[in-house]
Amino acid sequence: MSGLTPRPLTANYSGGTKVYDGTVTAVVTGSLSNRVAGDSVSATQTAEFTGSEARNVGSNKPVAVSSIALTGADAANYTLNNTSD
């Protein structure tokens, strides 16, 4: 009998609104594609504004999402298709 293969997930992120606080920490909203309905799995991540104007107020600023990790009771049943560190 062979073992089961973890189901691959894709993490998708979109940027949010943040009040200026002098840091490069960005607000993002994420979702996991290909998750089985009812499973308890979510993601944690780090998100930062990038570029020379990262600390300044502005719109449509680039954001880097890294250190994506799965959490939750069913997290061991999944792998991530896209991660960065």
DSSP state of 4: P
**pLDDT by position in tens, the chain (length 85):** 568 899 999 999 999 999 999 999 999 999 999 999 999 999 999 999 999 999 999 999 999 999 999 999 999 999 998 755 4
pTM: 0.81
pLDDT at 2: 64
d(CA 6, CA 23): 37
Q: How many contiguous H segments (helices) and E segments (strands) does the chain have? A: 0, 5
